Amino acid sequence: MTLHIPTLLIVSVFIFCVMGLLTLHAWSRETRERPLAYLGSMMLLVSLGMLLVSLRGLGVDFVPVVLGNIALLLGAAMNWTAMRVLAGRAPWLPGILAGVVTWLILCLVPAFMESLSARVTAYSLLTVAYGSATVLEFWRSQRSLEVSYLPAFLLTLLHTVFYCIRAVYDTGLGQDQALAGAGKGTSFFSFMLFEAMVYVIGIAYMTLAMVKERAELRFKAAAYSDALTGIGNRRAFMSRSEQLLESCKRRGTVVALLLCDLDHFKRLNDTFGHAVGDQALIAFSRVMSRTLHKLDVFGRIGGEEFACLLESDEAAAVDVAERIRLEFAALPLLEPGLLSVSIGVVTTRENGHDLSRLLSLADEALYGAKGKGRNRVEVAPGSAAAWLMEDQG
């Protein structure tokens, strides 16, 4: 069955125009999502291009052949740019204009303007170039993209393959044949219009889904991130710590909890101001980030209180705590002696894998460090390391 070409053209123009306007409206509500701006522009350009191309046979070939195809090629460029921006790269103006410039140069050749099959082949190959560039953007960004990009990748790949086939198979369809819906190439042209609708609607839906997924990930990250220091907050620490403790319990490995509290923090704020206090908190979080491993869990769980959970025995945990303490005290943020931290250490070897209990015991050790003069590491009572430290004391 051959689809009615004029009807398909009218439906396509209408659908692309409406979807373009809706996408731009969605972008206006959330201007940070620039892929939506390029995607909406793509649909409006494709709608305009299809409208201009359909004006063939009216005696003004410049409009459908030159302007119409320029609009369509700009639409392909905007689609590529939308995916490029979604992947975190900046728009590239030379790439956007490359298709248009190539088409204009070809249109300066009389033989090209007179050959419908040459124009079809050239346009198809330029579309393939933009489709391949879009596929490449997905492929290059597969590790950095945190959203489900595979459906959009496969759809774009199929769209690109279709235009590879068109470049070889299609010789073009005359205006009379298109209107009559009869003759060689009519079925392929009808299928091409249908494919264009499927692709544009599909890529629009998938891009909106990816943008929404990324926004949800940002909100989730914000909910689990400390606004000042950028590291995990109490909620993130508790959630990830429970997972680590459960994993280590199954494997029978020892986990250590370090509870850190900046010394005399209120006096620091009162003397030097809250801006300096904030700098101290940020500096301490950076010390922790440099000292701990990627698999360790750490976060800011209170005002000037930080905690970290690491898979290690007591001796290694105390060593890590001492490195944190010494590095923080040596920071040139303030005069020597004004920055210090007290740290309480507890492990799961004698105390089990219950996070609440570990936090409570580490808090007791922390207050023990405060009571013994601050700027020191104290191990929870009852552990082998605690006995050793007492003997050394």
Q: What is the pLDDT of residues 39-96, one digit of tens each?
A: 999 999 999 998 898 887 666 678 888 999 999 999 999 999 999 999 889 999 999 9
pLDDT surpassing 60 at residue 211: yes
Range of the domain at 382: 234-392
Could you tell me which of 264, 260, 259, 258 has the C-alpha nearest to residue 277? Answer: 264
Q: Is residue 98 part of a domain?
A: yes
Residues 12 and 126 in one domain: yes
User: If you average pLDDT over every residue of the chain, what do you get?
Assistant: 87
Q: Which pLDDT score, from 0 to 100, does residue 58 have?
A: 61
The tally of domains found in the chain comes to 2
Q: How far lies 105's CA from each of 28, 66, 112, 113, 163, in Å?
A: 36, 11, 10, 11, 21
Give the CATH number of the domain where residue 267 resides. Answer: 3.30.70.270
Work out the pLDDT band at 242, boundaries 50, 70, 90. Answer: very high
Residues 71 and 215 in one domain: yes
Q: Is residue 228 part of a domain?
A: no
Cross-strand partners of 297: 309
Burial, 286: exposed, middle or buried (Cβ in 10 Å; 0-12, 13-18, 19+)? middle
Residues 197 and 265 in one domain: no
Residues 203 and 301 in one domain: no
Q: Is residue 229 part of a domain?
A: no
Residues 185 and 61 in one domain: yes
pTM above 0.85, yes or no: no
Q: What phi, psi does 297 have (nearest 5°)?
A: -105, 125
Q: Is residue 346 part of a domain?
A: yes
pLDDT in tens, 332-390: 888 887 899 999 999 998 888 999 999 999 999 999 999 999 999 999 876 544 444 44
Q: Is residue 258 part of a domain?
A: yes
